[in-house]
Amino acid sequence: MAKRLLSVLFLLLFLPSSLLAEESLESLTQNIEAFIKSPDSRFAPATIARAQAVLGAALVADRKHDAKARQDSLQTAEAMLASAREQAKNFKSRYKDVLQLEQAATEASDNIPDSDLDAAKHRVRALARAFEHGDLNQSVKLATDAKEAFKSVLDSKLPPLLGKTDAALLTASRAGAKRYAPQAYQAAQKWLASALAYTDGLSNHWPRHPARGLKLANAARELALQVKQWRKHADSHEQLVLQARQERLRIAGALGMNVDGVNVDATDATADVDINALLQRINDLKSALAQERQAHKNDIAALKQAHALEMSEKIATLRNEMARSQRQQVGELKEAFRAKLQRETFETRRQQQLHKLFKKGEVEILANLDGSLLIRLVALKFAPGKTAIDQKYFDLLSRLKTGLEQYPDRKITIEGHTDNKGDAKANQKLSLKRAEVVRDFLTAAGMSSGRLKALGYGEVRPVASNDYERGRAMNRRIDIIIQAPH
């Protein structure tokens, strides 16, 4: 009862501040969904997936009206979202060159499905997973493979694209782009020359935007044709002015403005809106939006203040209740201490009886902080590479069985270990077989097989150095773990 009251009091004391610091469930859901839909999500797939799972737990807690579980899940999900964002930021910074090559290869392929490009992009996904899990050696290899794959795609797709660019420049020239759109035409020529230097082996700088030259050439042609059209018709300048007026009027209509006190009418040849008036209207709307947001913040602050006052009243009530239950709490603590002392006394005696079963040097018995016990069978030895138990150890194992029976409510794990000589996989199998024969002996001696579990760790958990024979001998061992009570 007292522990429950303390927990509730602690929660109520800190709930208002946590509400100020944490995003709402709805806001966090929207932020996670926005990140998943963004291109950055592919750079932190595992982290954002965990954030989704924890957010799901928060939704379940919210439906169950479990405020503490909901808040804990929200904090965890928010931290994971922040971690995913940071992961994506670090990946883009570290592998900027890989991503630039990916973009260039994609543009050169004109976004048409291509098996080589898909394979290269698959390497980027594998690179993101390796980087996310901290596998730096694998990341270096995958980054190199991805760059080579994208360069291969770029080298195969770039020549045809440059051919199209050259043809587009010729068409633009015939349309009069040199005269009527010289800036766009020269920019296209300069870009093409730079890209050809790369394909001809004269430069190591690959074009980051392979389609830019083609776009510039086409734009030069279109602009040249448009300029010639304007020059051909005497009213072309008036059309430009009227078109600009129509666009201003449409923007004014969208902003809810009026001209001369009436709604904007784009068909009225005399109607117009000054560009400065448009900018002023936009600024006014921005100011109104900012004021509205501030009003919402003020409302939220007021609600939080009211909530904090309500929590203070509840805390005062709980404190009074705790004061009334103080005597009961002291009595419960005394009873718990007496029971704990009784359990510790019983456990001490049981361990003393366990020690008496073995002779000096036969076993090592260690008590762990979690309540489990380790019995290391120092005297038990196996022939090299063998799993059979010599008959001279039967008495030792029989006494072990007697000791284990003092813990009828505990699970038993039998661990086999080896030194590092030989193949690691073979050592693991050998250690497991040795653990299994010890388990089978204890089962045959009458112990329940359901309590016993055999594991083989091979050479991965040494207790001494494998550089010396004495250390290797210590590592070749059988450990019996009496699991901690539930």
Concatenating the DSSP letter of every residue in 15-28 gives HHHHHHHSPPHHHH
List, in order, residues 6 or more apart from 296 with CB less than 8 Å away.
Answer: none
Would you place residue 55 in the very low, low, confident or very high pLDDT band (cuts 50, 70, 90)? confident
Note whether 209 and 107 are within 8 A (CB).
Answer: yes
pLDDT of residue 277: 84
What does the alpha-carbon distance between residue 333 and residue 2 come to, in Å, rounded to a whole number? 10
Instruction: Please name which of 113, 124, 116, 106 lies closest in space to residue 209, comparing C-alpha atoms.
Output: 106
pLDDT of residue 5: 42
pLDDT of residue 260: 56
User: Is a pLDDT exceeding 90 seen at residue 205?
Assistant: no
Task: Give CA separation, 72 vs 25, 32, 47, 76, 340, in Å.
Answer: 12, 17, 17, 6, 32
pLDDT of residue 19: 43
Q: Is the pTM of this model over 0.75?
A: no
pLDDT of residue 462: 94
Q: If you average pLDDT over residues 339-351, what whole number do you get?
A: 79
R_g over Cα of the chain: 38
Note whether 129 and 47 are within 8 A (CB).
Answer: no
pLDDT of residue 310: 83
Give the 3-state secondary structure of residue 406.
coil
Would you place residue 477 in the very low, low, confident or very high pLDDT band (cuts 50, 70, 90)? very high
User: Is a pLDDT exceeding 90 seen at residue 61?
Assistant: no
pLDDT of residue 345: 80
User: Is a pLDDT exceeding 50 seen at residue 16?
Assistant: no
pLDDT of residue 412: 95
Out of 129-138, 210-219, 332-341, pick the least confident.
Answer: 332-341
233-259 per-position pLDDT tens digit: 766 676 777 778 788 888 888 888 876
Would you place residue 278 in the very low, low, confident or very high pLDDT band (cuts 50, 70, 90)? confident
399-409 per-position pLDDT tens digit: 999 999 999 98
Out of 87-91, 196-200, 284-288, pick the least confident.
Answer: 196-200
List, in order, residues 6 or more apart from 126 with CB less than 8 Å away.
Answer: 142
What does the alpha-carbon distance between residue 111 and residue 210 come to, in Å, rounded to a whole number? 12
What does the alpha-carbon distance between residue 38 and residue 41 come to, in Å, rounded to a whole number? 6
pLDDT of residue 263: 54
User: Is a pLDDT exceeding 90 seen at residue 439?
Assistant: yes
Q: If you average pLDDT over residues 420-449, what whole number do you get?
A: 93
φ, ψ of residue 231 to 5 degrees: the values are -70, -25
What does the alpha-carbon distance between residue 132 and residue 462 come to, in Å, rounded to a whole number? 30
Would you place residue 97 in the very low, low, confident or very high pLDDT band (cuts 50, 70, 90)? very high
Instruction: Please name which of 483, 480, 478, 408 lies closest in space to residue 446, comparing C-alpha atoms.
Output: 408
Query: E strands along 179-271, which residues?
Result: 258-259, 262-263
pLDDT of residue 10: 44
In this predicted model, which residue has the larger pLDDT, 387 or 8? 387
Note whether 409 and 485 are within 8 A (CB).
Answer: yes
373-397 per-position pLDDT tens digit: 999 999 999 999 999 999 999 999 9
pLDDT of residue 234: 67
Task: Give CA separation, 409 vs 202, 254, 262, 358, 365, in Å.
Answer: 79, 77, 89, 22, 19
pLDDT of residue 20: 36
Out of 4-18, 140-154, 429-443, pick the least confident.
Answer: 4-18
User: Is a pLDDT exceeding 80 seen at residue 193?
Assistant: yes
Average pLDDT over all residues of the chain: 85
pLDDT of residue 264: 54
